[in-house]
Structure 1
Amino acid sequence: MQYINFLPCEWNNDHGFTQEIFAIAIKNNIGIGNPDTVPYRKSQMKNSYQFLHKYKADINTITIAVQEPDYTYTNPKTSKKFTQAELYDFDKNYIGANIIFWNIQQPQFDSVLKFFANN
């Protein structure tokens, strides 16, 4: 498992480095992860998210984390803070995550447990 988020020398794969890392991971059956769930955020969408989405069928395991700061972002589609359901849907369906690591801090964790208990 290799986490890929940003390369400090690259934006939107302008040097091809991110694409190359994904190609190597896929060729060598290495899972890929990301430390943040921030749907639609330009800095995420222009970097690793676009490749996770593009190659989700080719990557054997995709992991992503939902961390405490991720709950502070506003969904541009609703103008409200992201819900657990929206974060889960983005990770599962857009990113293609097989494993999602959820923040265990309160009060978010109780909401996560309720979400999964009801779905």
Structure 2
Amino acid sequence: MAVEQADGDHDGPVCPECGERTVRGSDKCFNCGAAVDSDEAISLAMWEYGGGLVAAFGFFLTPLLTALPAMYCAYRIYDRKPMSSYGILAVIVGTIVFWIVLPTVILPG
């Protein structure tokens, strides 16, 4: 199953089933759902799930450790999945608010 590179503004491979251009880093066609070999080490879905997971770890660790990697994951998926990147950013904001409110509730001044 040979996949050729598409010319134009998208630099992803062409779907072998329908011929539609795909986004570089995705592992399936968004038009027909066929599997596409993107020659990328990490697929778009892995950036999405990984970013959400890293952002959620901010509740247990601290946003100082998890915010930058989660924001990078949100940046990687923003072009194709903007609502998912907004969700990752919402979890980051939630962890920041959690870590600001938690000390004020537990240790009142």
TM, length-normalised to structure 1: 0.27
**Over alpha carbons, which structure has the higher Rg?**
2
Structure having greater relative contact order (Cα 8 Å, sep ≥ 6): 1
TM, length-normalised to structure 2: 0.29
Higher strand share: 1
